[in-house]
Structure 1
Amino acid sequence: MKDLAPGAAQYFAPKGGLPAQTDLHTGRAVFTEAYAVIPKGVFSDIVTSFLPFWDKTRAWLIARPLSGFAETFSQYVMEVAPGGGSDRPEPDAGAQGVIFVTEGEFDLTIAGETHRMTPGGYAYIPAGTAWSLRNNGSELAHFHWVRKAYEAVEGLDKPEPIVTNEQLIEPSVMPDTNGAWATTRFVDPNDLRHDMHVTVVTFQPGGVIPFEETHVMEHGLYVLEGKAVYKLNRDWVEVEAGDFMWLRAYCPQACYAGGPGRFRYLLYKDVNRHANLRPFGR
């Protein structure tokens, strides 16, 4: 553990608006059978959503379960104006959630305990837990909200709430990388009560994933900082801070961090559960 160091990390947050009518259409958005890329330029006002029981709030809904694609999670980029928030944020009692703060501050109350959330703040909210959120400040607040239906296992207790900040956690360096690749983990990987992980992955300039990862986990990857060339299925794609990558299971992936600064992203993956042999209710 280390002391909180304000300014030690950067977190990209969308600003909305619309491109000028004189701009050329040269975006990088793509949706394929194996992956999608939503570039930061797509995060305009016209693609936002409003949610029931949320005041002065809008959301970019960047992932949702799709049959034949990624099916385990949804991910939102939330923007809450001063005075906004919700006392009834989660409509599904079976849904667990993770919040990760990228800009601004707000008060998060979980099971009756209130926490001041600041950039880099992380919260895990177990399914069925009462919570609320309120921006009592004077600036916009931005955060990611990942939702997943919790898969309970007989004999395993439900996880308890977690509230922390990534700047308080020492990253775990990946073996044989000389510090070029590290992961900030908010949950013990050996804790089988959890069926999803949301982490922050950091590559130093020139760092790489040196093989094509091909695995059962679905991914959401939101680039918090820097730029890279990312291998997605058969394609090498340039990505930068503010872009979102969405991968179905078994989509091959690798990357080269492009520099000159660090390349960092917020990563979702589903973990620690058997494959569902009856996905369509058979």
Structure 2
Amino acid sequence: RIAIGRVGSGTRELALKLLSANGIDPGGDSTFLPLDGMDAATALVSGRVEAAMLSGDSTTRALMLRLLDIPGISVMSFDEAAAYTRLFPYLEDVDLPPGVLDLRRRQPRETVHLIGPTVELVARDTLHPALSDLLIEAAGEVNGAPGILQREGQFPSPAVHDFRVSEDATRYYKSGKSFLYRALPFWLASVTDRLLVLLLPLAVLVIPALRTIPALYRWRVRSRIYRYYGALIAIERDARMHTNEEQRRALIEELDEIERSLNTLRMPLAFADAFYVLREHVGFVRMHLNAGESQSHSSAV
């Protein structure tokens, strides 16, 4: 008769697997009773069961000392603990060193090899990194204290069993909380983190766009200058094609209009050199037109 834990409990599931690995299955010569914790210990003391499988919080130091004080009851040592941990990767071997329960009476008198399952915190890959940090931190506060079955800080740990350790958890174990959550209150760090998630993609688009602004500005200013050059080229071309005095005067009036427009044009200092070169070219075309007019007067005389 074996107390293997309540129906639906983790203790019962693990007990059934371990017993089955040793050829002890339901319906055989053994009877499995759904008892755990204090109920299982009471049944063991009263003789209603010959063995009790205890795990988790039910295996307290006080309960184990009370059981060990009763003649005929002892803690079973799993001498094959290494084999169990290899056959069942989710198991860990746990040693009870001599005297850990009671140094004065040296309980237990020899090292006792125990086995126990490793509990894993499992989350979806969409879990926010801040919540991942808080979960690990809370797990450390609850389970990180030293006890008879563990050293201080032994749990939680980044041990890999059935599930891979997330990148956020790996980062937490290496360097702790991220800078924002170390330096700012949680609510402010959370808001800042969300803003960064939104702003970083925008920055990827905005920064290249900002780099094009100076080029667009230069193109816009130079296009205004190029329009005047287009008008100058048209005037000079017409001056070569037409020698009529009236037509030359019309071209000079167009040139005067260009010069009046340049006098009211606002030009950035960075483009002052191009602006004054344009004015020189206006003067060059005017000189060409005046030279043609002088030649026409000479021919008329």
Coarse TM-score class (shorter-chain normalised): under 0.3
TM, length-normalised to structure 2? 0.20
Q: Give the number of the structure whose residues are more often helix, by fraction.
A: 2
Structure whose alpha-carbon radius of gyration is higher: 2
Q: Give the number of the structure whose residues are more often strand, by fraction.
A: 1
